Structure 1
Amino acid sequence: MYGGKQIRMIDVEEPTLDQSEGGDIIFQPELACLCGSDLLYFEADNPGYKPEIGHSLHEMIGTVVDTNGSKFKVGDQVLCVPYLQMGLQERFICTEKQAIAVDTRPDLREALLAQPLGTVLFATRRLPNLLGLNVAVIGQGPMGQLWNCTLAQLGCRQIVGVDLNAERLKVSPQMGATDTLQVSAEQSHEDVAAEVRKILGGEKPDLVIECVGHREQVVNLCLEICKEHGSVFFFGVPTQTLQEISLYKLFWKNITLYASVVPDFEIDFPLAMRWIAEGRVDVSPIITHHMQLKDIQEAFDIFSQRQDGALKVFLDFPVRNA
């Protein structure tokens, strides 16, 4: 990624473990998936996320082609999360601590979704017991959909998926939302909050998940929707600063604000892989596009512009034997 919404392939040196102190692997990607946080580098207009060589892919399954660690052997298929999302490479070095074994039971694309699902599981471990709570999930992109299925699995009473996009809302019931609400950019926060209350029988949600992301932060909307003494989870990747957040509402409604980043590779990703492999959650409805690495520019264009009902866009890396 070398400029705003522009991608090109360049030659770099082959990675080796000669300078490694141990515990590393050389990872060769086979399958990758685009994520909203990759768009921060793709769009290249945010000073906190300047693209460098290797930006930006980080949801990846591939093969260990060399190692000086003890966790994997050469030839093992693993899910790997590269350092600082620098996974747009044919091969790269990564600590073995940031990789887990791939369960062979599900479709490989579904297995790869253990990475984003693992981030949601980590987030829920920061929250109190969710059983019987009413929740509004603001944003029904891929991560909002994974929140839907996780909240349903953990016993929430009603899960209201809220979005501007009607196509995305069609998927929400398949992913666990009990109700959906299409809103418009012109609606006031008070109007949206009133519609959510109507769906919940006059109640406000106990928990509101902000899952819109860096382009269209809706923190103030979440604070408006949330009940007094409720919670707001700030899950969308933020810009460096957010202006005009209504601390007044946060303060006077006694709202607890949560955030999370960097899941546990020993807990969250393996558990997500297990949920998917055992069929506890069905992540297949959000698999919408499957393309080749040579078409990565088109893939990012489709994903960033939300074309053709795009939710999760997958990329096959070319086979490399040597």
Structure 2
Amino acid sequence: MWAQRLSGPFTFERVEVGAPRADGLAEGQVLLAPKAGGICGSDLPFFKGAPFLHAANPGSATTPAPGFPMHEVVGEVFASRHPAHAAGDRVVGWASAFDGLAELVVTDGEGLAGYDTGMAPTTAVMLQPLACVLYAVEQLGDVRGRTVAVIGQGPIGLLFSHVLKQRGARHVVGVDRVDRSAAAGTFGVDETVTASANLWAATLGEEDRPFLVVEAVGHQVTTLTDCLQAVARGGQVLYFGIPDDQVYPLDMLTFLRKNLTLRAGATLERRRVLTDAGSYLAGHPALREAYVTDVHPVDDVQAAFAAAIQPRPGQYKIVVDLS
């Protein structure tokens, strides 16, 4: 089968490798033929050369596994040992080994769900990040009537802005160094701030501080401090996503004196929240047209990743057509 392999920093190559066998599936696994994949911010450090302890390379910090790194996928079930999925089903969700850039992948069936197949796979792939956002917002409690801020207005940050507004947030502030004002109306952003997080936080008076700050930038440690500085006393900070560093410095004195809550966590109940994402998107169809801005053919995957590490106004979700 074909696969794209990350052979070095910033470099993909198309390779032919042995296909996984349907009779080799473990209980609960699915053999999936990916049709589209979304580039997630958590994939980008590996494109730039970060090591990853991949399941296909136990004990190794290199990443030669074919199909790596991509986990947001839409595809057709080729074979299944999961009771909710059968051959021929169209599903969306996780490639659990981050190896979605391949003709066939083995993945956990609990990380997949059906979707409205009236959507093109390159649109439906947005249900995976939306599911992650919906699950994260569930953990935050009631935000009705609150001022909230989302630091980072890329693809994930825009979804947070929309979901928080729909959950009743009174005022949503979107903070990004890239000008995201064109997306504000569609994604429920009441106030767009085009500045770094530390400069924005330094301008806030006590009456301006949001009750909730979502860190949706990732890949750095400094923005966590900016969130603590910006948030209101008694408020909460959500650090979303996969950290690049195992240890993050925490301004413990500010955290203590402001009586803050810090939240983080992975997405659980994946099949359930993928279904919830389908319902949410059906209720907000304008997101379908606005969210995915760039679709690249699979043989252009290197250019797709290169674009993703250089955010620009008007560029949101970048998707790879794997069909």
The answer for the alignment partner of 1:57 in structure 2 is: 70
1:223 and 2:228 equivalent?
yes
| Inter-partner Cα distance in structure 2 for 1:70 and 1:184 | 47
| Inter-partner Cα distance in structure 2 for 1:314 and 1:163 | 22
CA 244–297 in structure 1, closer or farther in 2 if over 3 Å, else same:
same
1:250 and 2:255 equivalent?
yes
The answer for the alignment partner of 2:187 in structure 1 is: 175
Partner SS, residue 262 of structure 2: strand
Residue 105 (structure 1) shift: 4.2
Counterpart selection for 1:6 from 11, 15, 31:
11
Indicate conservation of the 8 Å contact 2:215/2:240, yes or no: yes
Indicate conservation of the 8 Å contact 1:205/1:226, yes or no: yes
| Inter-partner Cα distance in structure 2 for 1:270 and 1:55 | 26
Indicate conservation of the 8 Å contact 1:159/1:178, yes or no: yes
| Inter-partner Cα distance in structure 1 for 2:218 and 2:78 | 35
The answer for the alignment partner of 1:125 in structure 2 is: 138
| Inter-partner Cα distance in structure 1 for 2:118 and 2:165 | 23
Residue 259 (structure 1) shift: 0.4
CA RMSD of aligned residues (A): 2.2
Counterpart selection for 2:127 from 108, 114, 119:
114
1:92 and 2:105 equivalent?
yes
| Inter-partner Cα distance in structure 1 for 2:201 and 2:222 | 16
1:73 and 2:81 equivalent?
no
1:41 and 2:46 equivalent?
yes
| Inter-partner Cα distance in structure 1 for 2:257 and 2:285 | 39
CA 317–44 in structure 1, closer or farther in 2 if over 3 Å, else same:
same
Q: Aligned AA for 1:175?
A: F
Residues 221-277 of structure 1 show CA distances to partners (whole Å, capped at 9, x for unaligned) of: 100000111100001421223454312211111110000213312321110111112
| Inter-partner Cα distance in structure 2 for 1:308 and 1:281 | 19
Partner SS, residue 288 of structure 1: strand
The answer for the alignment partner of 1:192 in structure 2 is: 200
Indicate conservation of the 8 Å contact 1:44/1:51, yes or no: no
Indicate conservation of the 8 Å contact 2:34/2:103, yes or no: yes
Q: Aligned AA for 1:170?
A: A
- Please list every run of 5 or more consecutive structure 2 residues that lacks an aligned counterpart in the other structure: 1-5, 54-60
The answer for the alignment partner of 1:237 in structure 2 is: 242
Q: Aligned AA for 1:249?
A: T
Indicate conservation of the 8 Å contact 1:303/1:313, yes or no: yes
Residues 151-206 of structure 1 show CA distances to partners (whole Å, capped at 9, x for unaligned) of: 0110000000011111x332133211111111148xxx3x52254549xxx33110
Partner SS, residue 320 of structure 2: strand
| Inter-partner Cα distance in structure 2 for 1:23 and 1:44 | 32
CA 156–197 in structure 1, closer or farther in 2 if over 3 Å, else same:
farther
| Inter-partner Cα distance in structure 1 for 2:166 and 2:144 | 10
| Inter-partner Cα distance in structure 1 for 2:271 and 2:30 | 17
Indicate conservation of the 8 Å contact 2:77/2:90, yes or no: yes
Residue 136 (structure 1) shift: 0.8
Counterpart selection for 1:277 from 274, 282, 289:
282
Residue 307 (structure 1) shift: 4.8
Indicate conservation of the 8 Å contact 1:33/1:315, yes or no: yes
| Inter-partner Cα distance in structure 1 for 2:154 and 2:253 | 29
Q: Aligned AA for 1:2?
A: S
Q: Scaled by the length of structure 2, what TM-score is found?
A: 0.89
CA 98–19 in structure 1, closer or farther in 2 if over 3 Å, else same:
same
* Structure-to-structure mapping, 1:14-29, within 5 angstroms: 14-29=19-34
1:142 and 2:150 equivalent?
no
Q: Aligned AA for 1:157?
A: R
Q: Aligned AA for 1:193?
A: A
Indicate conservation of the 8 Å contact 1:193/1:224, yes or no: yes
Residues 39-58 of structure 1 show CA distances to partners (whole Å, capped at 9, x for unaligned) of: 12211235677534121111
Indicate conservation of the 8 Å contact 2:90/2:117, yes or no: no
Q: Scaled by the length of structure 1, what TM-score is found?
A: 0.89
Residue 282 (structure 1) shift: 2.2
Number of positions where the alignment pairs a residue of Structure 1 with one of Structure 2: 310
